[in-house]
Amino acid sequence: MTPNNDRQARAPSVTRVLGPVHVWALGVGIVLVGDFMGWNLTILQGGSLAAILGLWTMSIMFAGQVMMVSEMATVMPEAGGQYTMAKYLLGPLAAFNVGLMLVLEYVMLEAGDVIVVGQLLNSLNPGLQVLPFTILTLLLLTFLNYRGAQATLTLNFVITAVAFSSIILLLISTNFYDPKATLLQLKERTNGLPYGKLGIMAAIGYSCWFFLGVEGTAMAADECRSPGRSIPLGGIVSLCTLVIGGTITWFVCSGLIPAGSLGTSVYPLYEAALATGKLFVAVALFVGSILACLASANGCINDASHAWAALSRDTLLPDVFAKVHPKYKSNYRAILFLLPISLAFAMTGLLDQVVTFSIFSALMVYLLTCLMLFRFRRMYPLGSIPRTFVAPLFPILPLVTAALVLCGLFGLHLNYGINLISGAVFYFLASLWFLNRRAKFLDQDRFLAAGMKAWGRPKNM
């Protein structure tokens, strides 16, 4: 997920050691938190059945995203995923917007994570104030990233494995395999489709939460032994894992918590664990939820600061944010600049608003990714440059994916129309600012030099 187009990252010294397993760990590690919080808004928006239908529908959209990004990212001359793709395929204005969208997607997700950590601690003792713990979590993670996050990102994988195990433990503890002893009462506790077909549309938008960022596995292309094999394989297996994890989460939570309360829960899996009445399961899910949130927030701080610094390095933002800490080698100015923004959103405590803005930003990037594949195939048709992976079913794949993204945006607008308009106005104003204040500083030749060197001039442009 790191739009890090740091030239050094492409230097020959980068070791190509990653295989499909590492790519899988990266994909699941960043996204798994979606099972612990936020996904249940789908039930609030469309009901129990809409939530599971939305989950499976959105998995198709993300499969398309993974394949499209895999084709483009594995040939890009710089690391950085969608930001780099936008830079070479759509130009500076789109690159600026994609970079900004990625930053806000991560900053909002980070705010959502720390809100949940605060709420979880508050659930232990209602007398505990949420605010100091929310701020403390954010400050501690910022501090870790400020001092260089490589070690903590490695630890993220272990944390994710523990968190995923806690979901499996919860499933087993419900005795789902024994119809007589099972704690799950799906018929009694689910509410079907209370808002009909429109409810499915509304749920589809929020179902992104189960997978948000999984296409970011392509960021590891630089460090893979065989990117053409590892990136698509690791990405698709990550997606399958998340579909299984999401389905288990829906199944267990819907069977243990009535749909009315599940839709508004801040920590649905933990509440499901409490509903089993088994202390060890509750403790495991409490720890799992906290760890998943911390791992995700940690990754988000790292990714958002990398994206912000990359925009600055490419002169799309003032260059002050590109400075690297002399001792810790972190993007320390970008990290500190983004801290108050995330803090401000976290302090509102409005999880649904934060989640909505994060999903909106991500969906906009996904839509542009579909456009980028069309542009990529037009600028560099098959056979004109060496590709290690080719997305199948072109142009059906990007068209179907774009249609599903539009369904998601339509679903979001049903209940959060004002938020979507505010988001669109924000990106429009940011674009105006860019055109008036930053575009003049841009050196187009230098901006596109690496792409021209790698592929030559585009054929059909």
Across the strands, what pairs with 224? 18
Least distance to another protein, CB of residue 332, Å:
7
175 in Cβ contact with 375 (< 8 Å): no
Which of the residues 146 through 185 are near another protein (CB under 8 A)?
146
- The Cα–Cα gap between 217 and 238 comes to 9
Angle between helix axes 351-379 and 396-433 (nearest 10 degrees) is 110
Contact between 193 and another protein by CB under 8 A: the answer reads no
**Contacting another protein (CB under 8 A), which of 93, 140, 371, 439?**
140
Give yes or no for residue 133 binding another protein (CB under 8 A).
Answer: yes
Binding mask 330-349 for another protein (x = CB under 8 A): --x---x-------------
CB-nearer residue toward another protein: 74 or 330: 330
Does position 135 bind another protein by CB under 8 A? yes
Taking the least distance from each CB to another protein, the nearer of 146 and 389 is 146
CB 142, CB 338: distance < 8 Å: no
CB of 334 to another protein, least distance (A): 12
Name which of 143 and 428 has its Cβ closer to another protein. Answer: 143
C-alpha 58/C-alpha 213 separation (Å) is 13
Burial of residue 448 (CB within 10 Å: 0-12, 13-18, 19+) is: middle
Q: Does 142 bind another protein (CB under 8 A)?
A: yes
Q: Please say which residue, 10 or 323, places its beta carbon nearer to another protein.
A: 323
Length of the chain: 461
- Residue 127 or residue 179: which is nearer to another protein going by CB? 127
Which range touches another protein (CB under 8 A), out of 22-30, 135-143, 230-238, 436-444? 135-143
Cα 417 to chain centroid distance, Å, stands at 22
Angle between helices 279-313 and 150-173 (to 10 degrees): 150
CB atoms within 10 A of CB 79: 26
Q: Residue 15 or 125: which CB sits closer to another protein?
A: 125
**In sequence order, which ranges of 147-195 are alpha helices (DSSP H)?**
150-173, 186-189
- By beta-carbon proximity to another protein, the closer residue of 323 and 387 is 323
**CA 289: distance to chain centroid?**
17
Smallest distance from another protein to CB 339, Å: 8
Q: Which residues bind another protein (CB under 8 A)?
A: 125, 127-129, 132-133, 135-136, 139-140, 142-143, 146, 323, 325-327, 332, 336
